[in-house]
Amino acid sequence: MTRPLRTDPRSDPESVVVGLSGGVDSAVAALLLKQQGYRVQALFMKNWEEDDLDGQCAAADDLADAEDTCAALDVPLARVNFAAEYWDRVFIHFLAEHRAGRTPNPDVLCNQEIKFRAFLEHALALGGERIATGHYARTVRRGAQYRLLKGRDPDKDQSYFLYTLGQNELSRSLFPLGEFSKPAVRRLAIAAGLRVHAKKDSTGICFIGERPFRAFLERYLPPQPGEIRDTEGCVLGTHQGLMFYTLGQRKGLGIGGRRDASSSPWFVVEKDLESNALIVAQGNKNPRLYRRALRATGLSWVAGHAPDRNWECTAKVRYRQTDQACRVLCTTEDACQVVFAEPQRAVTPGQSIVFYRGDECLGGGVIARSFRDPQ
């Protein structure tokens, strides 16, 4: 990673506040910045008020790991509670989307509203000049323009979750892990004697963690049972609420084998919101699982504007998907239509579509509708 050039003549080290989660990625981000001569301080964010769902306080364990890392690196650690901001800016939207039968991606909104808004504002108030996180992504400056690039390791690239970042956020952000693979990051942690070198990656809902998803969601959204139907309208069973299912889902349908059907597994192919019905079909390659086009809204562009009104690029409709060739037509400043060169499996309303040209992340939006026929 190339250290960014200052725009002023001062020679003192630049101050960077690292968002330290208690995991190995943010720990090594702090380590690398120290080695590169930055003046590093760390901030531990608590973004969810613990409950007794699993009988343990994960945030306390993460804080202890963050404190251990800071002691090993001789980095000062501050703490802040963003639970109210997370609830208001992320979780309420998360619930509203599920209530409407869509499948939201909380990681995208969490990055936009918490890590690169609330955290950035707080870091600047602490005297930091920039922030840094453990994301696997890269930035490059070309003239006055900052560009967001994929992480060098395709297995860990996280640019998909960062597409809402604009010029202000990127000009103040560093991603020290962008050139590294996860095994290399763990090796650096071992060499530095960081106890978190073997800590497993966090999964689950952003800042809430791993929980039995249905039981967790039922605490906020009451079940709304309805029929499970095949594509011919035959009733196969009962679902507990459309919010508990996503397109392409196979497990947890509870319909099992049927005498009048083949042994092929069933998949969710549609949610009929009007009749509160879950539509399923058999076979992983069933045509009802695939779409050629979609409409996206809530567009966000890294450069501050779309590359053009009608243009070609590649896109992902889910994290870790291979880039897919497509044509984009911007119908308004906040909406676009996308037609893919090949049909895409399980295009899910509420998820994000993110656009690329090579390694450069251009921006993206939220999938509003999908279509089998591109016309």
Q: Would you call 326 a catalytic residue per the annotation?
A: no
Q: Cα–Cα distance between 288 and 278 in angstroms, integer?
A: 13
Tally: H helices and E strands in the chain: 9, 17
Q: Cα–Cα distance between 5 and 8 in angstroms, integer?
A: 9
CA 47 vs CA 102, 118, 207, 221, 276: distances in Å: 24, 11, 6, 21, 33
Catalytic residue among 57, 70, 206, 313: 206
- Which residue matches tokens 């892990």? 177
Q: Would you call 110 a catalytic residue per the annotation?
A: yes
Q: Which residues lie below 8 Å from residue 113, measured CB to CB, with a gap of 6+?
A: 85, 86, 89, 90
Q: Cα–Cα distance between 195 and 68 in angstroms, integer?
A: 8
Q: Which helix (H) or strand (E) holds 268?
A: strand 266-272
Q: Cα–Cα distance between 137 and 149 in angstroms, integer?
A: 6
Bin 14: left if φ > 0, else alpha if -120 < ψ < 50, else beta.
Answer: beta
CA 284 vs CA 249, 345, 350: distances in Å: 10, 9, 22
8 A C-beta contact, residue 367 and residue 344: no
Q: Cα–Cα distance between 128 and 18 in angstroms, integer?
A: 9
Chain centroid to CA 209: how far? Answer: 13
Catalytic residue among 110, 313, 330, 336: 110
Q: Which helix (H) or strand (E) holds 194?
A: none
- Dihedral of CA atoms 79, 84, 89, 92 in degrees, nearest 10, equals 140
Bin 132: left if φ > 0, else alpha if -120 < ψ < 50, else beta.
Answer: beta
Catalytic residue numbers, as ranges: 110, 206
